[in-house]
Structure 1
């Protein structure tokens, strides 16, 4: 017998990573920072408080049948330390409901020295110790987001390299602590750039991230990639899903290893219907890894608008969430 955390046992991280992306089910991103979540609550007419943030996250993760379409839930640190109304911790409650609890470990972005108008994601200081504590609290995976803006000559080579290096250090620290890293390099959709510009930039970013992960000794089979889909800029005409799918998979096949545990796409702020249509088109094409979703706003926005802080509206909010999950949770080719 052993008292070691399951993720630290041989093959444990790989098994956890596979579980996050299997069966066409995805990952629910409920990890908005306190500031961001408070603003979204206020915009919905809900007073911003720790209790309202807790109640909102609890209604999301306790929706009956959520595990039929969701394998894991990403939390922010505040929520990881909170409890359900029945006294269970969020990690224990999510685990009991058949899903994996995860934690966002980055601490946001800061201006990148030497790169005007660009940022680098922070949070590496003390990460090994924090990751070990999150494992002790029940987290099984982690997430770190880096953002890249397309504008003029941006993103710069320096910004791409700096953020790729940070993503790789994060992933290595997490795997050593027993957390599966979700690696999220997001090329933002903001702007009027064409689809082929997004493809070129996304390929640059993913190639740099892959090189950095390899240099850091990160196990790809115990890593989930959370990239943007290759779309045109949000200020241009919306590209057809079939075009998005072809461009996205062309870029991924050219830049990321075949033994990656899986790819869980972010929604990128696109409307729920658009994000779901693009994901469905991507799933129709062959890929060497499981393909699924790790959506936040595209899943939870309808639920927040249905709830608006009213305890009596919890069933309606949960129904709205489940409708969006069902829209995106379809069997992958590997699971068919």
Structure 2
């Protein structure tokens, strides 16, 4: 039920502690990948942030808390709907350049549509595969900052 500002503050405190500990342990950051959440309001808050607001808050957080030595950030979908996660990733990449490679490591947001299309039926395997290919391609474009909503209807 948290708002976007609370997500930002808790994420900032968490990342600051993480990188303090990694520095103390002499971890070579160039050999790491961060797998974080995006900065957004919780589902139960009733607030829906635009992809642009999510992008601005997420990048502000990372510029304050994630060292440029970290080569890559692979986002979790964090309960976002499929297209919402894609739109947010796209908005984040569209406001680059960034010192890190930004991509996705979605579970549910990558698999929900294919599982629904498949529905456990052998006759739906091709439909499930097509849904997975589409969602993966949309996220690939978002990782490049090249996704747009009209591409979803083209499928």
Question: Shorter chain as normaliser: what TM range?
Answer: 0.7 to 0.9
After TM superposition, list the pairs within 5 Å mapping 1:12-51 onto structure 2.
Answer: none
Task: State the alpha-carbon separation in 1 of the partners of residues 61 and 13 from structure 2.
Answer: 9
SS at match of 1:292: strand
Contact 1:304 1:317 in 2 (8 A): yes
Question: Equivalent residue for 1:203?
Answer: 12
Partner of 2:83: 273
Q: Match of 1:294?
A: 105
**How far is 1:227 from its partner?**
0.6
Matches of 1:246 and 1:195, distance apart in 2: 11
Does residue 1:246 correspond to 2:56, yes or no? yes
Aligned twin of 2:29: 220
Deviation at 1:288, TM superposition (A): 0.7
> Structure 2: any 5+ residue segments left out of the alignment?
146-155
**Which of 259, 269, 278 is the equivalent residue of 2:69?**
259
Measure the CA separation in 1 of the matches of 2:60 and 2:112. 31
The answer to whether the 8 Å contact 1:290/1:332 transfers is no
Which residue is equivalent to 2:149? none
Structure-2 residue corresponding to 1:64: none
More helix per residue: 2
Report if the CA contact (8 A) 2:90-2:144 is conserved.
no
Aligned alpha-carbon RMSD (Å): 1.3
Gaps of 5+ in 1: 1-190
Give the 5 Å matches for 1:41-190: none
Q: Distance in 2 between matches of 1:328 and 1:204?
A: 28
When normalised by structure 2's length, the TM-score is: 0.87
Runs of 4+ in 1 over 3 A off after TM superposition: none
Alpha-carbon distance in structure 2 between the residues aligned to 1:213 and 1:314: 44
Q: Following TM superposition, by how much is the alpha carbon of 1:216 offset from its aligned partner in structure 2, in angstroms?
A: 1.9
> Aligned pair count?
142
Offset of 1:267 from its aligned partner?
0.4
Q: Displacement, 1:217?
A: 2.1
Aligned to 1:28: none
Question: Given the alignment, which residue of 287, 291, 310 partners 2:121?
Answer: 310
Return the alpha-carbon distance in structure 2 between the equivalents of residues 195 and 237 of structure 1.
8
- Residue 320 of structure 1 corresponds to which residue in structure 2? 131
Structure whose alpha-carbon radius of gyration is higher? 1
Q: After superposition, what is the alpha-carbon deviation per residue over 1:55-85, rounded to whole angstroms, capped at 9, x for unaligned? A: xxxxxxxxxxxxxxxxxxxxxxxxxxxxxxx
Considering fraction of residues, name the structure with more strand.
1
| Secondary structure of residue in 1 paired with 2:103 | strand
Corresponding residue to 2:38 among 229, 240, 261: 229
- Contact 1:245–1:278 (CA under 8 A) maintained in structure 2: yes
